[in-house]
């Protein structure tokens, strides 16, 4: 790069769990690789004009690992922090290899370096979420086994499920490493599943049994490493008002203030669109930059301002 060339803007793409397993699919490895092809070919093209960070969800994958543990009680159980680490490895590998193939198809593989990073995210041990676990994870249990389960359980729409704390992300432990890799134009895949939740114990970190929302962790990452555009890619074209009703309407441009008002009015439920809008608002308020919520199939159009819900700070 010559000294006069301005650095490429930094784009963060946060991929929803559905980037790998679509609703209604069984979730085989073949399906997961196939589902990644469209988003990765778009990201490959965006690599020419942007420096790129990728984060991802892990709900279905961690759910399957928990289910495998349930089926095999004579193998020692692994705590959640280890399962999150496992999914960072497995999904990081799938994203990296699919993106590598997409870059190869474009003939730009030699100039591009990819890296998947195991990432810790610091949470506050006094976060009120630890007193009130709300995030359902893993399998549905029949009512009769619920009293014997060694963890808190709540009745959800699907049935009885384990619930864990979902504390707020405070810091991305590897933020400096990520910043340096991005400065060198590496594509960095990190903060998978919202990151491995850790608390500080003196000078070291200890993993905790919790899950961090991947959209909120991505907003933290975006602020800490200096992202220019934060793109949240999911399985709908953007944020709607009156979602799921005949009068539903896609929001194309949304100020942070209006987003908060609509959130208060109940348009963006917790556990799905709520954290995406909250993450976008947090990022645009803190940085004055923009965020976009879009479909996994329209990442390129959304980056170019032709799709999705654009959120900006008023
Ligand atoms: P991801 O795995 O990408 O995080 P989620 O399932 O958590 O996806 O969130 C996306 C889902 O949010 C959509 O599939 C949709 O059903 C739901 N949703 C709820 N409210 C809205 C809304 N107001 N606008 C758009 N989607 C909404
Ligand atoms: Mg989600």
Q: Is residue 66 part of a domain?
A: yes
Phi and psi for 110 in degrees, rounded to 5?
-70, -30
Residue nearest to atom 25 of ligand 1 (CA): 239
Q: Is residue 1 part of a domain?
A: no
pLDDT in tens, 134-175: 999 888 999 999 999 888 999 988 899 999 999 999 999 999
What SS3 class is residue 238? coil
CATH number at residue 109: 3.40.1160.10
Give catalytic status of residue 214 as yes or no. Answer: yes
How far does the centroid of ligand 1 lie from the alpha carbon of residue 207, in Å?
Answer: 29
Give catalytic status of residue 276 as yes or no. Answer: yes
Q: Is residue 227 part of a domain?
A: yes
| Beta-ladder partners of 200 | 205
Ligand 1 atom having least distance to the Cα of 17: 2
Residue 284 makes CB contacts below 8 A (sequence gap 6+) with 230, 256, 290, 291, 311, 312, 313
How far does the centroid of ligand 2 lie from the alpha carbon of residue 29, in Å?
Answer: 20
Residue-range definition of the domain harbouring residue 222: 10-124+168-312
Contact (CB, 8 A) for 283 and 230: yes
Closest CA to 92 of 49, 61, 136: 61
Q: Is residue 139 part of a domain?
A: no
Ligand 1 pocket residues where CB is under 6 Å: 16-18, 57, 234-236, 239-240, 243, 267-269, 272-273
Q: Is residue 284 part of a domain?
A: yes
**In the chain, how many domains are there?**
1
Q: Is residue 133 part of a domain?
A: no
Task: Report the pLDDT averaged over residues 241-258.
Answer: 98
For 29, the token pair is 């490895």
Name the strand (E) or helix (H) holding 172.
strand 171-172
CA angle, residues 244, 246, 252, in degrees to nearest 5: 70
Residue nearest to atom 19 of ligand 1 (CA): 273
For 26, the token pair is 């069984």
Q: Is residue 150 part of a domain?
A: no
How far does the centroid of ligand 1 lie from the alpha carbon of residue 27, in Å?
Answer: 19
> Residue 232 pLDDT > 80, yes or no?
yes
pLDDT in tens, 47-59: 999 999 999 999 9
Other Cβ atoms less than 10 A from the Cβ of 272: the count is 13
Q: What percent of the chain has pLDDT over 90?
A: 82
Q: Is residue 142 part of a domain?
A: no
């Amino acid at each position: 790069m010559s000294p006069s060339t301005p650095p490429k803007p930094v784009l963060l793409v946060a991929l929803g769990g559905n980037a790998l397993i679509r609703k209604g699919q069984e979730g085989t490895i073949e399906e997961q690789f196939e589902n990644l092809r469209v988003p990765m070919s778009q990201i490959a093209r965006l690599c020419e004009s942007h420096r790129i960070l990728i984060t991802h969800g892990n709900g279905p994958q961690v759910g399957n690992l928990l289910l495998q543990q349930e089926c095999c009680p004579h193998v020692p159980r692994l705590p959640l922090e280890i399962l999150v680490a496992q999914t960072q490895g497995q999904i990081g590998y799938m994203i990296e290899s699919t993106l590598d193939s997409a870059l190869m198809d474009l003939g730009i593989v030699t100039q591009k370096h990819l890296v998947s990073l195991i990432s810790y995210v610091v949470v506050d041990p006094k976060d009120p979420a630890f007193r009130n676990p709300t995030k359902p994870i893993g399998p549905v249990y029949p009512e009769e086994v619920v009293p014997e389960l060694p963890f808190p359980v709540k009745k959800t729409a699907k049935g009885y499920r384990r619930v864990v704390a979902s504390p707020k992300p405070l810091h991305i432990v590897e933020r400096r490493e990520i910043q340096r890799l991005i400065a060198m134009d590496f594509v960095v895949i990190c903060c998978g599943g919202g990151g491995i939740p850790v608390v500080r114990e003196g000078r070291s970190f200890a993993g905790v049994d919790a899950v961090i929302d991947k959209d909120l962790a991505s907003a933290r990452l975006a602020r800490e490493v200096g992202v220019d555009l934060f793109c949240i890619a999911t399985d709908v074209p953007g944020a709607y008002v009156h979602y799921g009703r005949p009068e539903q309407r896609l929001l194309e441009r949304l100020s942070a203030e209006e987003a908060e008002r609509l959130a208060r009015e109940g348009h963006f439920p917790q556990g799905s669109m709520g954290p995406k809008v909250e993450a976008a608002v947090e990022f645009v308020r803190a940085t004055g930059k923009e965020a976009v919520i879009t479909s996994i199939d329209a990442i390129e159009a959304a980056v170019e301002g032709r799709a999705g819900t654009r959120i900006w700070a008023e």
